[in-house]
A = this chain, B = another copy of it.
Amino acid sequence: MASNSWKSKVLLNVLSYLDYKTGKFIIVGSKRVGSLYRVIQLSIIGYLVGYVFLSKKSYQTKEESIQSTVMTKLKGVAVTNTSEFGQMVWGPVDYVIPPQGEAVFFIVTNFIETPNQKLGNCAELWGIVPQSPNVPDGHCKGDEDCAEGELVVAGHGVRTGRCLRDNGKSNGTCEIYSWCPIERRCQPQDRHKHKNMLREAENFTIYIKNVIRFPKFSFSKANVQDTADKFHLKKCRYDEALEPYCPIFRLGDIVNQTGHSFQDMALKGGIIGILIGWECDLDRDPSECQPRYDFTHIDVNVSRESSGFNFRHARYFKTGSGESYRTHFKVFGIRINIMVHGKAGKFCIIPTIIHIGSGLACIGGGAWFCDWILLYLMKNREFYKDWKFENVKNSTTEDVKQTPEEQQLTDPSPEV
């Protein structure tokens, strides 16, 4: 019997957990505070539904670290005609550096060639030039100005200790051991530069194949559909309005879209970024996930040399007797950086719950704010306080004995 009563007590206890407990509310007639609360409530719900969920799609988990493979191929031929080297034909093999179709490559559009350089002694400065800012220490008045074995700052070789002077002149140039003759500076510069330019580079085409992958979602896509019309792909040219998905780009168009003149950039060189942006909503059909191309001129105005972009390379040869010589090229041109960025989103319960939870909590915060107005700012605040707070009347509270004043302050409950 006792055991039975104990059992039934446990059962009752368990059952009491299934009683629904809900907060007791008071209805305050104040339409002002009530309206304020409704406005807060609706604002938060509107923000949550309209901005967070519909506009920002925050119910999705996002992936921003995209994996990307880029393959490029250039087509086009250019011809240069210089008095010294005659007519030269430039194919992709010649003007694309490096040739293996990477995402970052350089297209030669202008060059200064210094052929037949051999290791030997020659003058540090080429011809009679004004004090060059690049080799400030190249001038001398006597052999004592050219210490043997010294390396010239930003120069081309090691000093032999001799000062080369023209007959009767007081100013000369230190002799150096280097690849001689040293690199040409091309006076008169401008005419010569224009002569060497690959004018037809404007019509070169760049085919870009870009395959991306979002590792979090194991989702892959290419900028060229396998189902696409192959013949169309051979003929099309990218155009933002007409052919936004054609992966073949005309070099001149790219440069023009960055707001620059092609001839200027071809002369001095430059860096152009091709930004491929993928913004994919994976809750939709994968076919809606399409790349967007943007073109931007990456400014390298402040270099140590001058504006533009150039670098030097050399081709090495040997004579029949085994002596080395080389052709030195300073090449100006357009460096293309293909940069792929993107993000994908897919529905996920976790961010959804976070946003709903935070929104609900903020509605709770709104209630707290309205309470604060009600209890501290309204005319009838004392009256509302009496209704809202009910003082526990006990003569046995363990820690504090209420003083009469406190009693008066906190216990004007109307039920009494």
Contacts and interface: CB of A to CB of B under 8 A. Distances in A.
B394 A383 contact: yes
Interface stretch (A15-23, A167-175, A187-195, A255-263): A15-23
A8 interface: yes
Interface string A98-125: 1111101010000000001001000000
A154 B20 CA distance: 78
Contacts of A78: 151
A131 interface: no
Interface residues of A, number: 165
Interface in A114-171: 116, 119, 133, 151-152, 154-158
Contact of A312 (B51, B77, B99, B389): B99
Contacts of A69: 271, 273, 298, 337, 339
A108 B246 CA distance: 29
Interface string A72-94: 01011111000000111101111
B56 A31 contact: no
A307 to B, nearest CB: 10
Given A15-B31, A222-B299, A104 B102 contact: yes
Contacts of A399: 29-32
Contact of A402 (B26, B29, B119): B29
A311 B27 contact: no
B79 A158 contact: yes
Identical chains bound together, number: 3
Contact of A374 (B20, B28, B37, B77): B20
Contacts of A337: 69
A256 to B, nearest CB: 20
Contacts of A289: none
Contacts of A49: none
Interface stretch (A207-215, A237-245, A280-288): A207-215
Contact of A18 (B34, B119, B397): B34
Nearest to A356: B362
Nearest to A63: B64
A215 B415 CA distance: 63
Contact of A356 (B24, B33, B207, B358): B358
A392 B350 contact: no
A17 B367 CA distance: 15
Interface in A320-357: 320, 322, 328, 335, 337, 339, 341, 343, 349-350, 353-357
A188 B65 CA distance: 46
A411 B225 CA distance: 69
Interface string A276-313: 01000000000000000000001111111100010111
A410 B27 contact: yes
Given A71-B309, A392-B387, A371 B22 contact: yes
A318 B317 contact: yes
Contacts of A309: 71, 101
Given A93-B314, A224-B302, 10 more contacts: A20-B28, A20-B370, A23-B24, A31-B399, A67-B275, A89-B119, A230-B302, A233-B302, A357-B358, A360-B361
